[in-house]
Amino acid sequence: MTTIPPKAPVQATRDIASPKDTYRRFCAQEPSLPLFSRDWWLDAAVGRNGWDVALVKKGNEVLAAMPYVIRSRYGMRIVTQPALTPMLGPWLRPTGGRQAAQLSNDKDVMQALIDQLPRFDHFAQTWHPGVGNWQPFFWNGFRQTTYYTFVLPELTDMDKLWAGFEGKTRRAITKAQKQHQLQVRSDVPLDLLLDLNRKTFARQGLLPPYPDDFVRRLDAACRERGCCRVFCALDPDGAPHAACYVVWDEHSAYGLISGTDPAYRESQANSLCVWESLLHAAGVTRAYNFSGSMIAPFEAYLRGFGGNHVPYFHISKTPSRLLTLRQGLLSLTGKH
């Protein structure tokens, strides 16, 4: 942990409390922290000892924090983020002053965060859209790739929201409701969602990149705090067509997991599930983040819900020459 004394340059000092203990107390007090950066989420995702945090303080005030996960692969140390955690990265306290003062503050506290990172062979994190300045990381040899997500910033007027959907999206929802007589329920077991999610991956010849028990741990932590819900579309015979899983904090809901039975793809059940999740989100938070996708067909689908096209950063660095060489070879061969 780094402490910035008043009117003094950044310098490292020893604190009686560990950075993680300080961060846990901070998480309990700071509502502006995004959901995926909170200690309980990270505990559920990788265990209490599976993550750490860089922390910058001035007196008793936390100025910046950056949680991270360390993984080991083939003897390499990877600093990254957990599965089903679409956004992590630094949190910086706003200065409330002029832009020049904010940028100066960003430079100091981001440098302090970077200085606290453990030795790594590869660093890769995708940051929350609220972090718009990565330049201090550039000065330290990091790279940036711009990703995009769709965000509905206001859920206060659902009629206006509906009117903002593309026509094909409105027709898909109406078709699911009227032609296929689907109803969306949330009192279904999590295993039903997991089964639909597996079928979606299987249709592409893939396995889900996370085990069922991992999802169950996250779900249990979220249910304990009342910040998650499954939305499942069923037909009159009780057959599940599609489902989605949404989590939220005080600021935004996030679409996290979805799945569709390939036998019922024409029923448009997935669009109906998203619509019902938006209706619910309007009662518990302010915005809805679709958690992004750089896959062209899925981007086109999400675009239909009329959200703002919002950029966010993927930050990486690979000091390991072996990994850098391997990544270059994969790029040349087109393999990933």
- DSSP codes of every residue in 94-136: ---S-HHHHHHHHHHHHHHHHHHSPP-SEEEEEB-TT----HH
Average pLDDT, the chain: 92
**Whole-structure pTM value:** 0.90
**Residue length of the chain:** 336
**19-29 vs 39-46: helix crossing angle, rounded to 10:** 120
Q: How many CB atoms lie within 10 A of CB 162?
A: 16
Q: Which residue has the higher pLDDT, 6 or 30?
A: 30
> SS3 for 299?
helix
Residue 292 backbone zone (phi > 0: left; psi -120 to 50: alpha; other: beta): left
Instruction: For residue 72, give Cα distances in angstroms to 2, 51, 114, 212, 214.
Output: 26, 13, 20, 22, 19
As a whole number of angstroms, the distance between CA 188 and CA 259 comes to: 14
Contacts of 75 (CB under 8 A, 6+ apart): none
Q: Which of 241, 244, 94, 229 is nearest to 182 (CA)?
A: 241
What are 179-203's pLDDT values in tens digits?
999 999 999 999 999 999 999 999 9
What are 257-309's pLDDT values in tens digits?
999 999 999 999 999 999 999 999 999 999 999 998 888 888 999 999 999 99
Token pair of 79 as six digits: 């600093």
* Per-residue pLDDT at 10 exceeds 80: no
Q: Report residue 75's pLDDT band, with 50, 70 and 90 as the boundaries.
A: confident
**Structural domains of the chain, ranges and CATH numbers in brackets:** 19-148+312-333 (3.40.630.30), 154-285 (3.40.630.30)
Q: Report residue 325's pLDDT band, with 50, 70 and 90 as the boundaries.
A: low
What are 86-135's pLDDT values in tens digits?
999 999 999 888 899 899 999 999 999 999 999 999 999 999 999 999 99
Average pLDDT over residues 4-27: 69
Direct distance between the N- and C-terminal alpha carbons of the chain, in angstroms, rounded to an integer: 36
Q: Which of 231, 331, 223, 234 is nearest to 278 (CA)?
A: 231
What are 202-215's pLDDT values in tens digits?
999 999 999 999 99
Residue 188 has what DSSP assignment? S
Cα dihedral 197, 198, 199, 205 in deg (nearest 10): 120
